[in-house]
Amino acid sequence: MGKTTGFLEYVRTETTAQPPLERIAHYNEFHPPLSLQQRREQGARCMNCGVPFCQSGMVLNGMATGCPLHNLIPEWNDEIFRGNWDQALSRLLKTNDFPEFTGRVCPALCEAACTCGLYSDAVTVRENELTIIEMAYAEGKMNAEPPAVRTGKRVAVIGSGPSGLACANRLNRRGHSVTVFEKADRPGGLLEYGIPNMKLDKSVVARRVKLMEEEGVEFRTNVCVGADVPARQFLEEYDAVVLCVGAEKPRDLAVPGREAKGIHFAVDYLTSATKSVLGGTAPAISAKGKRVVVIGGGDTGNDCVGTCIRQGCRSVVQLEMMPKPPERRLPENPWPEWPRVLKIDYGQQEAAAKFGRDPRLYQTTVKEFRTNEKGALTGIVTVGLQAEKGENGRVRMVPAKGSEAERPADLVLIAAGFLGVKNEVADAFGIPLTDRGTLTTTAGTFAAGSQKLFCAGDARRGQSLVVHAIAEGRAAAREVDVFLMGYTNLTD
């Protein structure tokens, strides 16, 4: 390890954020980096412990903890401390195709499992990772490396989200000719349109896409599978087809008044907002001057909160069905499990600064939408929820009697998660859906029906994190390579 007593000598120091009331005036990223000396000190805090849970990628008590990519975290933290940035980059890219993405948007499963976090504060793993890759780009070390030899095999990757990009990147570097098809007007999938610009600047996505193009990957946008190109054409023209189409079917609310004008799915709203930022035009769905209600307390709901504040909303409330989490770990949630504790994200910070309070209302959901004579949304009726054990012993949230309340609303954004793959894709390729709405694959593999058809990412595992999607794309590429060549030298 680097500095033997580093974890005792240095405290956790995170990048400072621009004050909330300043950053809501723009859509840019708002975390200026630490100095290199400060970053080296943060690398020195890594203990190089005998059992590095940070890179384990385990599931404990039904929750993921540790890096699913099995990043060699102690190794590149040691290189950061020693100032060996080239070696740190080499070790980082060995397991992670896109650290510039995970270093910005990953919830840092690695840090939840960091041994330092058992009694103190975890190492700043995610920020260390981001520093390595951004230094490499800034110093001109991220150059195109097209394969020296092509195999003659052609692969179609449908979907350019994190799993599709990772799969395409690996297969291209192996020497296969890869074409990525994307239904939107820009590559990137949820990286491009599902995550706001202030969280992941779209120039970062474009930078990586450009590098992949220089290495030989072809991108075709505005191509909708089934409508623009029949599924059979992909199977006829390519030696392998990988479906990385995501889990884009949003969870809806079946309550009275749902048809009201002014109710939108979060993904449609965030897409509209990003296109507006990129194009310099007014968004198709705007929160300006409106009383906004966001239904859903997760990351997407938080992104909606931060976005609508930047658009100039009059007020914002975020409804969360579950109880408010504790501020510290409870005994039944020990390290290295994922900590079920209260998280205050950037959107909630900005709402508190702008409107004087955390926007979240816990144990609350919508019972009814109210409209005027023109069918436009005017308000919502909420109902409080309480925990109740069902016959199977599982706790569920049920309406509490007498807890109804009315609240004015001009815009409602539904951020209640996703139910799986859209039926058009499954139908086009004749792949049955599982009970979870994902594409059916042979157990323990990425193979989907036809001998040359594979799938990966959220389409296979359900709605998840960017880091899981990258891991899926890498593993699928390895399986596809074995199918095409009879062996592989790719690593997961």
Residues 411-439: pLDDT tens digits?
999 999 999 999 888 899 999 999 999 99
Buried b or exposed e, range 341-378, using 16+ CB within 10 angstroms: eeeebbbbbbbeebeeeebbbbbbbbbbbbbeeeeebb
CB 71 within 8 A of CB 110: yes
pLDDT band at 481 (very low <50, low <70, confident <90, very high): very high
Whether 449 has a pLDDT exceeding 90, the answer reads no
Options 3.50.50.60, 3.40.50.2300, 3.40.190.10, 3.30.565.60; CATH for 263-414 is 3.50.50.60
Work out the average pLDDT over 48-63: 91
pLDDT at 393: 77
Tokens of 390: 């069902």
- Terminal-to-terminal C-alpha distance of the chain: 25
H-helix or E-strand containing 91? Answer: helix 85-93
Euclidean distance between CA atoms 86 and 92, whole angstroms: 10
- pLDDT at residue 1, as a whole number: 62
pLDDT tens per residue, range 117-132: 998 999 999 999 999 9
pTM higher than 0.85 for the full model? yes
- Work out the average pLDDT over 57-68: 94
Q: Span 8-21, mean pLDDT?
A: 96
Mean pLDDT of the chain: 95
Return the closest-CA partner of residue 353 out of 2, 30, 115, 80: 30
**Is residue 256 scored above 80 in pLDDT?**
yes
Express as a percent the part of the chain with pLDDT over 70: 99
Contacts of 57 (CB under 8 A, 6+ apart): 64, 66, 67, 68, 69, 70, 109, 471
Mind listing the pLDDT tens digit for each residue in 156-171? 999 999 999 999 999 9
Q: Give pLDDT tens digits for 324-359.
A: 999 999 999 999 999 999 999 999 999 999 999 999
Identify the CA nearest to 343 among candidates 330, 327, 331: 327
| pLDDT for 2 | 62
Element (H, E) at 74: helix 73-82
Domain 6-138 CATH (choose: 3.50.50.60, 2.60.120.310, 1.10.1060.10, 1.10.357.10): 1.10.1060.10
The CATH architecture to which 154-248+419-485 belongs is: 3-Layer(bba) Sandwich (3.50)
pLDDT given for residue 29 in this prediction = 98
The domains of the chain are located at 6-138, 154-248+419-485, 263-414
The residue type found at 201 is D
Residue 179, beta-bridge partner list: 156, 218
What integer pLDDT is reported at residue 49 of this predicted model? 87
Provide the 3-class DSSP secondary structure of residue 302: helix
What is the per-residue pLDDT across 191-218, written as a single tens digit (0 to 9) for each?
Answer: 999 999 999 999 999 999 999 999 999 9
Determine the pLDDT at residue 165: 98
Same fold, 154-248+419-485 and 263-414: yes
